[in-house]
Amino acid sequence: GQQLNQSPQSMFIQEGEDVSMNCTSSSIFNTWLWYKQDPGEGPVLLIALYKAGELTSNGRLTAQFGITRKDSFLNISASIPSDVGIYFCAGRSGAGSYQLTFGKGTKLSVIP
Amino acid sequence: DAGVTQSPTHLIKTRGQQVTLRCSPKSGHDTVSWYQQALGQGPQFIFQYYEEEERQRGNFPDRFSGHQFPNYSSELNVNALLLGDSALYLCASSLENRRHSPLHFGNGTRLTVT
């Protein structure tokens, strides 16, 4: 099935560093979502974006809906050990479509 | 406020068998979606149920079927299991009539087909 291009696939960072990951698509999306998944659990919603150009923050997390509607990025500032996990971007193409298309995930490891 | 609950948490089946997975949506939600997540991959959309009917389906064969009950809970059935059906099956719920109601996921059912 269709998937978004998410990068990087994995990253190792020092505690306190900032993190940036992004997601691109060949198709336009009307909604972009960012989820985090811990081992043995389901994805947990971090940030939802509904408008091109929208920039939204949730604590140390900031995400933007690309102006072309084909990309989104997620930044994490001042990383802490509990940020470890897999981050997924997901997009919904628009009216009449109920499915989310997911990226393959970015695995984040934080070195204390 | 109960979140999305799924049962069982783990299941082992033999190739060719049939399986039923169950999901109760988050309190107040009326729409249920099912996703399959293979190891190392992002979730893939199977189908969505609203008002007890399947209203959108992803690229999955007819061996995958579902049901939604009047209390909004849902079941996912998979017939004639294949080794490739081994995956984490995620249920997600949302509220239809709320603008911008994002999906809330359960912790999934880990299905292993041997």
- Distance of CA B56 to CAs A69, B47, B91, Å? 23, 6, 15
The pLDDT tens digits for B12-55 are 999 999 999 999 999 999 999 999 999 999 999 999 999 999 99
At residue A84, the pLDDT reads 97
More confident residue, B98 or A31: A31
Strands A85-92 and A31-37: antiparallel
pLDDT at A76 over 80: yes
B-interface mutation test, from A7, A37, A101, A104, most B Cβ less than 10 A away: A37
pLDDT at A71 over 90: yes
- Determine the distance in angstroms separating the CA of B15 from the nearest CA of chain A, rounded to an integer: 23
Q: What is the mean pLDDT of residues A50-77?
A: 96
- Within 8 A of A47 by CB-CB distance, chain B residues are none
At residue A2, the pLDDT reads 57
Side-chain-side CA neighbours of A65 within 13 Å: the count stands at: 20
Q: Between A and B, how many CB-CB pairs are < 8 A?
A: 61
The percentage of chain B sitting over the pLDDT mark of 70, rounded to a whole number, equals 96
Least confident of A93-102, B37-46, B50-59, B70-79: A93-102
Q: Are B106 and B89 in contact (CB under 8 A)?
A: no
Residue type, A57: S
